[in-house]
Amino acid sequence: MFAALNLFESAVDTFNTTSLLKYTWPRYLQSQGTSAGTIFHDFFRKLQSRMKGRKVIESRAGTLEAAATMMPQSPRELVLQVIPPVFLDNSGKPLITRPGGAKTYASSLYNPADLAVLGIQEMTMPGFSKLLEDYATREFVNFRSRPEEWHASVAEIIVKVGAQHFRHINLIPLRNGSWISGNNKPFFFPDAGADFAVPRGIDIKMIATGGNGAWLRRQLYSALGAKTIDTSKVHQMIVDQHTAQGQHSSRWTVEDVVEHAWFLFTAISKPSYCNISGLLVAPESGPIRIGAHLYMDGLGLTTRVSDLLHGCPSAKFISTHYMGKGRKASPDQLVAWLKWLQSELHVNVLPRLLDRKRTSISPEFRWLVESGESKTWLTLLRDHWDHYKNDIPIVSGTMGFLSNSLVRCKNGVSRTLKEVYLPAAIKDEPLAAGVAAILDVDDPNDFKWTKLTALSLSMTPTTRLYLDILKKLASTSPLKCNVDDVKRLYTALSHKWSGDGYLIKNTFEAFDLVFIPHSEQPKWVSLRSARWTAPSCLSDVAALKALYLELRSLFTGTLGVRDATLSDVVDRLEACSGRADQVGEIKSLLMYLSRSLAPGKPPVAQEVISRLLNSATRVLPVRLTVDRVELRSTSDQSWFYADTTTLRTAFAGKVALLDFDMINSVSVTDLIKKLGLEGRRLKAHACEDTVTAGEQIPQPGLTDSLQWRAKYIT
């Protein structure tokens, strides 16, 4: 067998030298029939193995090469390949040569099927893709400098075999000299008929095309995803790059940013939907930022925002380049340009109420309120209420900030907005002048001021105003007060109880605002001294029912004024304790208290009466002599009360007796019982005997009279 193998090798050498069977001998490296199970099966296997390692295959370079390197020294040592016609140029040469040159490709004169037995395979599409990728990456200078015709041929091949397999390779030349792959979208064909220029600073991948093979390469670029450029796509690219750039860009000049905005404004075609509110705008100074953070003077506004915020350190205005750009156009286009900046880029033409994050009052509006005249920002809110009203509820403290801000009043003082009034608020209340703080504005009768009632500006008299008027009246001489004025104010307050009841009651509790119009000595008293009904003996309380019957809801409902009780009577007795000059009032109080304890009357809590048992409470009038009365306590054991005429006559001036008629009257009898003082009766402590003295003298007349009546008695 070895002799046969050596003989075949010698024959191959002869074929390659003489050209006889030079390109067909590989066909005989395998059985032409069936060798399985014969001695030739092992022969052909050994023959193929020996021939793979010998340089017996002619390459495209004309050299004899082995089918495969038996011991490859590096990954770049490759086996021979057959290159299909699809990967050849028009002259039949490989478009791309592998490392090693033409020697790595088998001659095209062989039948690829004959070479397959030696392991020589045809180049595949993935193999070509990898070869092209290596070439474009490792030898990119040579790759990019190849002639247009060569690139056109490569493009034609790729389109034929499928561009999706080559999308990752940098095959697309751009106008800026760089090359990109199909994965670096978007990229565009230049539109030769376009009448616009892409603004400076906008990074748009524009394909560089030209040369004889441009149409073939255009097919490739199209297959890789290239689109034709138009204003709509440039519009989208500008917006996308501004959004991605954020507010920290230094790559663009002011002129660049203005041109970007102008392009969007004048673009003939635009994307069906594109939010351009994030477009960056150049300020007069400082870094670029979105339009919502900047200001500009609006068209048709009576007040310029540049005047309102003049001197405000946080207010930033757009660059004058925007106005300059617009002035180069027609007047109508200038107007449209300024409106577009306002509506589309949201550049502010009025001071912002809320800050950028819409979480608090903006620094500009706070500066306007705290540094400027109040009529300025109030008029701003009034005239542009529809612009501001929806921002007020967003931040919880906004309403409080505005309503509690100081505003100037007509009398030169300052009050918070919620404390002031417009003139219309007091026209129907004659006593409001001098009490109400009137807002100092130039046109107080303008109906638009009613919009600011949402901020607590008062257009009608308020509860607080009526209370302030009452307080002012109460601070003057009661003799100058008119009860009709007071009733009018009370009536007004009674109509406001549902919303301001707490305020009304607190004010009445803090000030003496209850007017008692006594003809001789009118006075103002506290709510504590007022009762709706009270007995006449209670001199320290004011009974209001007789004075203000029609205002019962105000006094008994809102203010909680109650009827006088026995507890009030006891309170007054305790207040008069030991005061001899109040004996008359004390006696009236004790008699009223006793009548209230009579059988059939509502029960009285014992603790109320028990307060009179205190040894320090001296409210029982005790007569010592004809012209001397003292006040004693219930625990004082030195006084008594006479329960018979004889005892009263006998002990008058000798023993301290309760200064009440306890014989012919029941004025304090029930009170004595309730206090447990029945043991103080003189009869319980003194014995009464009848003693006769002198000469007996008959009285016939009386004797006859008694005898005459006796028959009727028996």
pLDDT in tens, 326-374: 888 888 999 999 999 999 999 999 999 999 888 999 999 999 999 989 9
Q: What is the mean pLDDT of residues 236-246?
A: 87
Number of domains in the chain: 4
What distances in angstroms separate CA 260 from CA 146, 250, 635, one per listed residue? 37, 15, 103
Predicted confidence band at 247 (pLDDT cuts at 50, 70, 90)?
A: low
Assess if residue 395 is contained within a domain: no
pLDDT, tens digit, 9 for 90 and up, residues 161-201: 889 989 999 999 998 889 999 999 888 887 655 567 788 88
**C-alpha span between 342 and 696 (Å, rounded):** 134
Q: What is the pLDDT of residue 86?
A: 87
Please give the single-letter amino acid code of residue 263.
Answer: F
Report which secondary-structure segment, H or E, holds 657. Answer: strand 656-658
Do 587 and 693 have their domain in common?
Answer: yes
Do 131 and 83 lie in one domain? The reply is no
- Which pLDDT value is given to residue 70? 44
- What's residue 453's pLDDT? 92
- pLDDT, residue 36, reads 61
The answer on 85 and 150 residing in a single domain is no
Tell me what pLDDT residue 204 has.
86
Give the C-alpha separation, 603 to 589, whole Å: 18
Q: Are residues 114 and 129 in the same domain?
A: no
Which segment of 67-81, 262-276, 331-345, 457-471 scores lowest on mean pLDDT?
67-81
Per the domain annotation, does 164 fall within a domain?
Answer: yes
Average pLDDT over every residue of 124-137 = 90
Q: Which two tokens stand for residue 657?
A: 């007796």
User: What residue has token string 């109509």?
Assistant: 495
**End position of a domain, from candidates 305, 330, 349:** 349
Q: What is the mean pLDDT of residues 82-99?
A: 85
Residue 68: the pLDDT is 73
Q: Can you give the C-alpha Rg of the chain in angstroms?
A: 59
- Residue ranges with strand state E in 420-506: 420-421, 437-438
- Mean pLDDT to the nearest integer, 694-703: 81
**pLDDT band with cut points at 50, 70 and 90 for residue 73:** very low
With 80 as the cut, is the pLDDT of residue 581 above it? yes
Same domain, yes or no: 212 and 256: no
**Strand ranges for 425-555 from DSSP E:** 437-438, 514-516, 523-525, 530-531, 542-543
Q: In 190-300, at which residue ranges do the beta strands (DSSP E only) sit?
A: 227-228, 280-281, 289-290
| Inside any domain, residue 497 | no
> Does residue 158 belong to any structural domain of this protein?
yes
Backbone angles phi, psi at 289, to 5 degrees: -160, 170
Q: Name the pLDDT band for 281 (thresholds 50, 70, 90).
A: very high
| 19/160 same-domain check | no
- 207 within 8 A of 169, measured Cβ to Cβ: no
pLDDT-derived band of residue 547, with 50, 70 and 90 as boundaries? very high
Return phi, psi of residue 442, to 5°. Answer: -75, -30
Does residue 139 belong to any structural domain of this protein? yes
Return the percentage of the chain with pLDDT > 70, whole number: 95
The answer to whether residues 211 and 259 belong to one domain is no
Which residue, of 205, 229, 253, is where some domain finishes?
A: 229
Tokens coding 95: 């478009």
Whether residues 60 and 84 share a domain: the answer is yes
Same structural domain, 183 and 263: no
Neighbours of 493 (CB within 10 A): 24
> What band does 17 get if pLDDT is binned at 50, 70 and 90?
confident
- Average pLDDT of the residues of the chain: 88
Q: According to the model, what pLDDT value does residue 33 have? A: 64
Q: What range defines the domain where residue 268 resides?
A: 230-349
| 92 within 8 A of 153, measured Cβ to Cβ | no
Residue 348: which of 293, 387, 287 has the closest Cα? Answer: 293
Residue 237: CB atoms within 10 Å: 19
Select from 308, 300, 293 the least CA-distant residue to 347: 293
- DSSP lists the bridge partners of residue 172 as 180
Give a yes or no: residue 262 inside a domain.
yes
pLDDT score recorded for residue 202: 87
Q: Read off the DSSP letter of residue 433.
A: T
pLDDT value, residue 644: 86
Mean pLDDT of all residues in 532-536: 94
Amino acid at 551: L
pLDDT tens figures, 598-638: 888 888 888 888 899 888 899 999 999 988 999 999 999 99
- pLDDT tens-digit series, residues 19-50: 888 888 888 888 776 656 666 667 878 877 88
Spatial CA neighbour of 344 closest among 360, 314, 322:
322
In a domain, 429, yes or no: no
Same domain assignment for residues 271 and 188: no
Q: What is the pLDDT of residue 213?
A: 62
Q: Are 84 and 146 found together in one domain?
A: no
Q: How high is the pLDDT of residue 648?
A: 87
Of 213, 229, 245, the domain-final residue: 229
Q: Which residue has the higher pLDDT, 118 or 347?
A: 347
Mean pLDDT for 592-597 is 91
The answer to whether residue 375 sits within a structural domain is no
Q: Give pLDDT, residue 76.
A: 43
Assess whether 136 and 278 both reside in one domain.
no
**Residue 468 in tokens:** 């302030």
pLDDT of 433 higher than 90? no
